């Protein structure tokens, strides 16, 4: 019996994790985090809930590439007791090793070369090089005793990547009778062909050369192909590069160690060179509050203040949910009289995900028994499925939290929507706590403390504090305390009566029941 268990990333952007089970042996493909955004009640991100695998033998975690939404949850699930070796390509493995060090977590890392075959009984897994916005990305051809399943990871077909070769469909065509093709749906809405990564070079060259003053380019630190282009352009234009942001420094060092980037044009001191000679590479293209670029935009960066005519190039797309933060940051940059260039208005970014023509090319090369769209919100999954129908390929829409079984056809055996473990820095916060915080934010809180005479039961003294409460409830609390004390209630019993009375009163007046805490001490 084979089972497919999408743990995250289907019906949402982020937190990608997909389990394949054969008779209680499981492999988990990717295990990423979900960024919850700024307004999420102190919760920074979420990791997939692996509860469905608690009684299984996890043979391995296999990473398709090193993006946070694919590898970011590994330390948390390992700390949570789901222990198994983690297989990753060289660059992905280097990122995971750095993460393990950062988070004080031991990861049993097994590095494979791109193109290698992994023998993980009862699964045999061939790794195939794909193009994406990070190096060393792979698709997986997974042979199980019941058939072959292909997982594309995140991919696109790039005629001219900056590093490596164009991904070929030949390796996918070898497999006949593929049981299921799990394919990246991020750009399933995009009908036009993708530009090649290398098509950005002329834009960068022109924008950086014509800049009258300092230039800042903001991009994802893990996009080594894009960093490579910017280093090449800077070298040609005789600029010095200054790196802003810890992850930018970490990724450039890793890329230099692996021979992708020559660090000789780096400078540690902006002031030592004419402003026009400086190219700053910064993280923070998503408007993250503590990032270098956000602090520059709000004029709070200790090392770098913008001056009129400085140029800022955002070389990225906004991840859904981040639009408001990015918009605020771009407005702040304009207010500081910077020249701002961003995707949409200028050709400063290309996507790392396949658009419809590439998705179609892959599904037609494989001709699977079933196409299963992965990695996307529902609209992406459904539009990807429609594309399969147009090509006479059967499809199946799955959602995070489902469990599907294959006997002679696919059947859904169970489903849960409780798919996330919320995380604040390194502390796991369960759903109940989030509900409590939301309740507190929306309805406010009342705190009552009273002292009661142990013998007579008389209320000796009492006080009331409230947060976010617009109604005066002192008289109600006073009356309830004295009334129920007179009726002979003591301590906890009295507290509970008063608590219920206050909540009933609040609901009558405002329609809401605030969090109410009453303590009666003897």
Where does residue 288 fall: left (phi above 0), alpha (psi -120 to 50 degrees), or beta otherwise? beta
- Residue 63's nearest CA partner among 132, 12, 121 is 132
Does 505 participate in binding Zn ion (rule CB under 5 A)? no
Q: Which of the ranges 52-60, 66-74, 161-169, 246-254 carries the binding residues for Zn ion, by CB under 5 A?
A: 66-74
What distance in Å separates the CA atoms of residue 434 and residue 46, rounded to the nearest whole number? 12
| Token duo for residue 294 | 């956000």
Q: Judged by CB, which is closer to Zn ion: 187, or 203?
A: 187
| Token duo for residue 504 | 């009933």
Q: Judged by CB, which is closer to Zn ion: 21, or 154?
A: 154
Q: How far is the CB of 188 from Zn ion (least distance, A)?
A: 15
| Token duo for residue 436 | 């409590």
Q: Judged by CB, which is closer to Zn ion: 186, or 196?
A: 186
Q: Judged by CB, which is closer to Zn ion: 30, or 501?
A: 30
Q: Judged by CB, which is closer to Zn ion: 223, or 452?
A: 223
Q: Judged by CB, which is closer to Zn ion: 126, or 136?
A: 136
- Residue at token pair 């991009």: 219
What distance in Å separates the CA atoms of residue 183 and residue 272, rounded to the nearest whole number? 49
Q: Judged by CB, which is closer to Zn ion: 67, or 239?
A: 67
| Token duo for residue 109 | 């890392």
Write the binding mask 216 to 255 for Zn ion: x where contact by CB under 5 A, - elsewhere: ----------------------------------------
How far CA 453 is from CA of 288, 319, 457, in Å, comes to: 55, 60, 5
Q: How far is the CB of 500 from Zn ion (least distance, A)?
A: 52
Does 158 participate in binding Zn ion (rule CB under 5 A)? no
Does 154 participate in binding Zn ion (rule CB under 5 A)? yes
Q: Which of the ranges 46-54, 65-73, 236-244, 511-519 carries the binding residues for Zn ion, by CB under 5 A?
A: 65-73
What distance in Å separates the CA atoms of residue 25 and residue 417, rounded to the nearest whole number? 24
Does 67 participate in binding Zn ion (rule CB under 5 A)? yes
The site that binds Zn ion (CB under 5 A) totals a number of residues, namely 2
Q: How far is the CB of 137 from Zn ion (least distance, A)?
A: 7
What distance in Å separates the CA atoms of residue 329 and residue 308, rounded to the nearest whole number? 16
Q: Judged by CB, which is closer to Zn ion: 88, or 429?
A: 88
Where does residue 199 fall: left (phi above 0), alpha (psi -120 to 50 degrees), or beta otherwise? alpha
Q: Return the HEC string of 499-522.
A: HHHHHHHHHHHHCCCCEEEEEEEC
Helix (H, G, I), strand (E, B) or coil at 6: strand
Q: How far is the CB of 512 from Zn ion (least distance, A)?
A: 43
What distance in Å separates the CA atoms of residue 155 and residue 354, rounded to the nearest whole number? 6
Write the binding mask 477 to 496 for Zn ion: x where contact by CB under 5 A, - elsewhere: --------------------
Q: Which of the ranges 8-16, 150-158, 187-195, 254-262 carries the binding residues for Zn ion, by CB under 5 A?
A: 150-158
Q: Which of the ranges 78-86, 149-157, 179-187, 263-271 carries the binding residues for Zn ion, by CB under 5 A?
A: 149-157
Residues making contact with Zn ion (CB under 5 A): 67, 154
């Amino acid at each position: 019996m084979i089972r497919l268990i999408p743990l995250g990333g289907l019906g949402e952007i982020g937190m990608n994790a997909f389990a394949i089970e054969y008779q209680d042996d499981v492999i988990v493909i990717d295990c990423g985090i979900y960024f919850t955004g700024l307004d999420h009640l102190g919760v920074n991100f979420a990791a997939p809930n692996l509860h469905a695998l608690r009684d299984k033998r996890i043979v391995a975690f296999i990473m398709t590439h090193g993006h946070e939404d694919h590898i970011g949850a590994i330390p948390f699930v390992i700390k949570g007791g789901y222990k198994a070796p983690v297989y990753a390509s060289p660059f992905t493995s280097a990122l995971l090793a750095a993460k393990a060090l950062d988070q004080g977590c031991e990861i049993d890392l097994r590095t494979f070369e791109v193109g290698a075959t992994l023998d993980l009984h009862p699964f045999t897994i061939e790794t195939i090089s794909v193009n994406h916005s990070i190096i060393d990305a792979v698709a997986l051809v997974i042979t199980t005793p019941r058939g072959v399943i292909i997982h594309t990871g995140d991919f696109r077909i790039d005629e001219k990547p900056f590093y490596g070769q164009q991904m070929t469909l030949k390796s996918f065509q070898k497999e006949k009778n593929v049981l299921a093709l799990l394919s990246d749906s991020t750009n399933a809405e995009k009908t036009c062909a993708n530009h090649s990564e290398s098509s950005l070079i002329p834009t960068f060259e022109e924008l950086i050369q014509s800049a009258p003053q300092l230039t800042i380019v903001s991009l994802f630190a893990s996009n080594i192909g894009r960093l490579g282009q910017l280093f090449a352009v800077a070298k040609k234009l005789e600029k010095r590069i200054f790196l802003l942001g810890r992850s930018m420094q970490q990724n450039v060092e890793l890329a230099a160690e692996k021979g992708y980037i020559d660090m000789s044009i780096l400078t540690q001191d902006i002031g030592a060179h004419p402003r026009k000679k400086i190219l700053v590479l910064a993280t923070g293209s998503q408007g993250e509050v503590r990032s270098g670029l956000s602090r520059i935009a709000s004029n709070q960066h200790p090392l770098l203040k913008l001056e009129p005519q400085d140029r800022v190039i955002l070389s990225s797309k906004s991840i859904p949910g981040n639009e408001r933060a990015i918009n605020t940051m771009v407005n702040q940059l304009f207010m500081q009289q910077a020249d701002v260039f961003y995707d949409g208005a200028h050709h400063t970014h290309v996507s790392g995900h396949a658009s419809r023509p590439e998705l179609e090319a892959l599904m037609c090369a494989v001709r699977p028994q079933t196409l299963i769209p992965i990695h996307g919100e529902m609209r992406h999954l459904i539009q990807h499925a429609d594309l399969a129908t147009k090509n006479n390929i059967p499809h199946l829409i799955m959602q995070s939290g489902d469990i599907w079984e294959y006997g002679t056809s696919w059947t859904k055996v169970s489903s849960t929507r409780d798919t996330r473990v919320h995380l604040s820095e390194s502390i796991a916060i369960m759903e109940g706590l989030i509900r409590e915080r939301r309740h507190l934010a929306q309805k406010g809180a009342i705190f009552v403390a009273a002292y009661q005479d142990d013998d007579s039961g008389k209320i000796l003294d009492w006080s009331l504090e409230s947060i976010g409460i617009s109604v005066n409830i002192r008289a109600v609390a006073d009356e309830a305390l004295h009334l129920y004390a007179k009726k002979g209630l003591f301590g906890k019993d009295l507290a509970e009566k008063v608590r219920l009375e206050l909540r009933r009163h609040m609901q009558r007046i405002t329609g809401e029941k605030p969090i109410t805490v009453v303590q009666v001490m003897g």
